[in-house]
Every structure is written in structure tokens, then in C-alpha cells.
Homo-oligomer: A and B are copies of this chain.
Amino acid sequence: MSSPKQIPTSIASTAHNHDRCISSAMQTARQVCSRSGARMTSLRENVLRLIWQSHQPLGAYKLMDMLAAASTRRVAPPTVYRALDFLLEQGLIHRINSLNAFIGCTHPSTRHANNFLICKACGIAIEFAYQGLQTSIDQTAAEFGFSIDAQSIELIGHCANCQATGGAPQP
């Protein structure tokens, strides 16, 4: 529950051992659930792992296909959406509204702001938290007497890497 200053995502910044990154996220997830008394079932765990395995936000139907491919039996939309709803409730994933897609949350224990840089070229979504920005948001709301329950900040453009390399357009 620490307060974030600035949390650059380890995903985007450099090459890294993503397997380790995933298993760390899965372990955190189990802790979160055990604290909240929620059940981390195998379906939910599979969904979360698939989401973490992708560096790009994953759509519900893509996820559904991946689950089906892994399991011989057919998987219907509600199965996926229920797992996604659960993970959203636990703060373990975010929904990116401008993409109708989902991505793992890099700091599930802190205030659950939904702040992303989204690259149109490579499709990566970089979660960020920045105290100065949050202060401005809170001030703005306060000036309107508005009370915030949830926030979604999506900045769409080109990441540093794609600017440098010319960035292949998204498939």
C-alpha cells in the first residue's frame, strides 16, 4: 500500500527476464487474493498468466481463443468475461478503454489509477504513476466539487523506441 512516486514499468524500459516477471506477478496475485479472501482458481490464474505473457493489451476474444487452444474444450465468452471481471475487481488487471483490451497491473497494491502510454506503432501499453500528475487530477476534480471513484488516463502516441527506430506499424 505504499504511495508511488514514479514507477517506470519494467516491461517497457529494458530487456528483462519476462518469465520471472510473470511468476512474480502471479505470486503477488495470490497474495492479493488471500488477503481479500478471494479465490484464485485455475481458470483465473490461467487468464492472468496469458495476460501477463503478452506485452500488448489483450482483447477478451483473443484471450478466449488462447484458452480454447490450450484446453481441447470450447470456451465461451462468459467464461472469459467472468474471469476478467474478477481480476479487475481484485485490481490485478486494467481495462484499456480505447482498445477494448486488458493488461496486467504493475502495482496492484497502490491506489488503482489507470494511467497508460499507448504506442500506436508497437502496441505496447506502459503503465505509469506520477505524483505530480495525480495531484493535478485531484485539484481539477476538487475545483469542480467532483468526487472521483475511478480514473482512466490514456495517452496515445509513439514510444521512445518506435520514434528512434521508425517503429513498425501495429499488426
A160 within 8 Å of B (CB atoms): yes
Q: Which residues of B contact A155 (CB under 8 A)?
A: 137, 140-141, 146, 148, 150-152
- Chain A interface SS verdict (over half): mixed
Query: When chains A and B are docked, how far (Å) is the Cα of A141 from the Cα of B8?
Result: 12
Query: When chains A and B are docked, how far (Å) is the Cα of A157 from the Cα of B117?
Result: 23
**Chain A residues in the interface with B (C-beta under 8 A):** 6, 8, 12, 97-98, 117, 119-120, 126, 128, 130, 132-133, 135-137, 139-141, 143-160, 163
Q: Which residues of B contact A163 (CB under 8 A)?
A: 145, 147
A–B Cβ pairs within 8 angstroms, 22 of them = A12-B144, A97-B97, A97-B98, A97-B154, A117-B141, A117-B146, A128-B144, A130-B136, A130-B139, A130-B140, A133-B133, A141-B155, A141-B157, A144-B159, A145-B159, A146-B155, A148-B156, A149-B158, A150-B157, A152-B152, A152-B155, A153-B154
Query: When chains A and B are docked, how far (Å) is the Cα of A112 from the Cα of B136?
Result: 19
- How far does the Cβ of A154 sit from chain B's closest Cβ, in whole Å? 5
Query: When chains A and B are docked, how far (Å) is the Cα of A150 from the Cα of B158?
Result: 10
Query: When chains A and B are docked, how far (Å) is the Cα of A119 from the Cα of B163?
Result: 37
A12-B144, A117-B141, A145-B159 known, 14 other contacts, Cβ within 8 Å? A97-B97, A119-B146, A130-B140, A132-B139, A133-B139, A137-B153, A141-B155, A141-B157, A145-B163, A147-B157, A150-B155, A151-B153, A152-B152, A152-B155
Tell me if B137 and A133 are in contact (CB < 8 A): yes
- How far does the Cβ of A106 sit from chain B's closest Cβ, in whole Å? 14
